[in-house]
Chains A and B, each alone.
Chain A
């Protein structure tokens, strides 16, 4: 096995790119991919330490992480699709309907 800092540097680079992508890009789908990139960086860390300590716990967590990645990306895409259908274009934060405590929403008849 290579020294573990090789894997840590790779993981750090992916984490950095993912954070920059989440915070700088405006496209919702690219933001979603950047979050997945951060999870991939975590998976590389877990795998490297699992191999280093010959402990299968890291592999087990990585398996769960891959499952969570798959579920998360599909759920997030479904939410984006639902929001996009509801507002036609993605709303700015100021346009989102925030209900204040003194306001009551009257259901449409």
Chain B
């Protein structure tokens, strides 16, 4: 009961922060509400018994990163909007995407009601990692079972690094 109340309070704070983040006009206020959302999410991580991730999310992202962003946005005057002719198509696309996602969720919920015996574990043939996690387990996990997502992730980071280098070189 106590955990349920905690979860609903944290979830309410997270959704409230997200809605306020999207609806604010100044980017600094959006950053502060985003920090609120991330803090509530960190609380949910703690409730799911992941204290390391709670600490990482709360300290690294919610405090340090948002502090840097607020400073950068204010100091660099980055609180700017894109061109005006871009807006109406984007709004139509956003509403359409939201409708599609809502329909998808409704379909999934209805499907669960129609086929209640189906289990999501059938989609996960990989044997689970042992619960108290060790460094060797993580290493074996990444380099034996799931090398492809890790390789994709590192490839995307490489592209991002090359992109920022190219932009800075052109500017110079």
Contact = CB atoms under 8 A, between A and B. Distances in A.
Nearest to A13: B15
A94 to B, nearest CB: 8
Interface residues of B, number: 83
A61 B139 CA distance: 12
A56 B130 contact: yes
Contact of B94 (A13, A24, A93): A24
Interface residues of A, number: 73
A45 to B, nearest CB: 11
Q: What is the predominant secondary structure among interface residues of chain B facing chain A?
A: helix
A18 to B, nearest CB: 7
Nearest to B33: A33
Contacts of B24: 30
A71 B62 CA distance: 14
Q: Which of A25, A50, A72, A85 has the most CB of B within 10 A?
A: A25
Interface of A: 1-2, 6-7, 10, 12-30, 33-34, 36-37, 40, 43-44, 47-51, 53-57, 59-64, 66, 68-75, 77-86, 89-95
23 contacts: A12-B101, A17-B15, A28-B81, A29-B31, A29-B69, A36-B34, A37-B37, A40-B37, A48-B48, A50-B50, A53-B124, A57-B141, A60-B133, A60-B141, A62-B53, A66-B60, A66-B61, A68-B153, A70-B60, A73-B65, A75-B164, A77-B72, A89-B80
Given A23-B90, A43-B41, A85-B171, 14 more contacts: A19-B97, A26-B81, A29-B27, A30-B27, A33-B30, A34-B21, A54-B131, A56-B129, A57-B146, A62-B53, A71-B160, A72-B160, A75-B160, A84-B80
